[in-house]
Amino acid sequence: MKITYLGHSSILIELADQQRLLFDPYISGNPNTDIAPEDIKADWILLTHGHGDHIGDAPLIAQCNQATVIGIAEIAGFFSSKFGVKAHGMNLGGKSDFPFGTVKMVPALHSSSFEYEGVNVYLGEPAGFIIQAEGKTIYHAGDTAEFSDMDLLGEDFSIDLAFLPIGDNYTMGPDDALRAAKRVRAKKVVPIHYNTFPVIRQDPEAFVKRLPKDTGLVLAIGESIEL
Ligand code: NI
Ligand code: MN
C-alpha cells in the first residue's frame, strides 16, 4: 500500500485494489500546503473527531468522490443529514468489516464539536482508528492525550505503523508521544499534528531521534512511503 502525508493529521492510504482511504483531510485551511482538496481522490473518509482541523475539506471531498464517511455515530449522522453524503457510523470499541479490510474505532482523550451555521454542534466522542488491510495494521491516534489503555492496543494488535500527534497544547506533546509509542509497540511511528499553527510548533526530527533506532519517520507534506 502507498501512504501519503497530506499535512497536519491527514493521511491518504492507497491500496493495491484501488481503494483509497483518507483520514482527517484538513487541506485548504493548512497554511503549510497548497495541495488542492478537489484533486484528492478518496473512496472512504475516516474522521477521528469533529474539530475543524480534522473535518476540514471532508464535505467537499466526500461529495466530489461519492466517498463514504466513517466516523462516530454523531459525525456520520451529521454528514449524511447536512452534506448528503454516505456515512458509516461506529462507536468506541467497535470493529467493522469493509471491502478494503477492517476498522476498529478506539478511544482518544480529547473533545469533539464543530461550528456549523454559527452554532457549536456536539459531534460525539473523539476517536482513533486501527485499520487492518493487505496484512498490515495501521493506527491513527487522532487528537489525543496519552492514556494508559494504549497498552491494550499494543497487546491486541501488532501495529506496523502508528500516526501519533506530537504538537502539544491540544494533544500530547513529544514526551508523552514517546511513551505512547512505547505503549502501542508500533514498528514505525510517524509524528503528526505539529507546525500547522504557531502554538503546536515542534521539531519532528528531534522527536523521532528519541524513538528506538529505525522506528521513527518524519514525512514531508506530500511525501509517500510504501508499506
Ligand atoms: Ni481536535
Ligand atoms: Mn486537531
**90-142 pLDDT, tens digit each:** 999 999 999 999 999 999 999 999 999 999 999 999 999 999 999 999 999 99
53 C-alpha to center of ligand 1: Å? Answer: 7
Tens-digit pLDDT profile for residues 209-220 = 999 999 999 999
Summary mean pLDDT of the chain:
98
How remote is the CA of residue 17 from the centroid of ligand 1, in Å?
Answer: 31
pTM assigned to the model: 0.98
Region 58-71 average pLDDT: 98
In the chain, what's the furthest Cα-to-Cα distance?
48
Distance from the alpha carbon of residue 51 to the mean position of ligand 2, in angstroms: 6
Tell me the C-alpha distance between 183 and 34, whole Å. Answer: 35
What's the 110 CA to ligand 1 centre distance in angstroms? 7
Model pLDDT, residue 189: 98
Determine the distance separating the centroid of ligand 1 and the alpha carbon of 49, expressed in angstroms. Answer: 7
CA 132 – CA 164 distance, rounded (Å): 17
**Distance of CA 113 from the midpoint of ligand 1 (Å):** 9
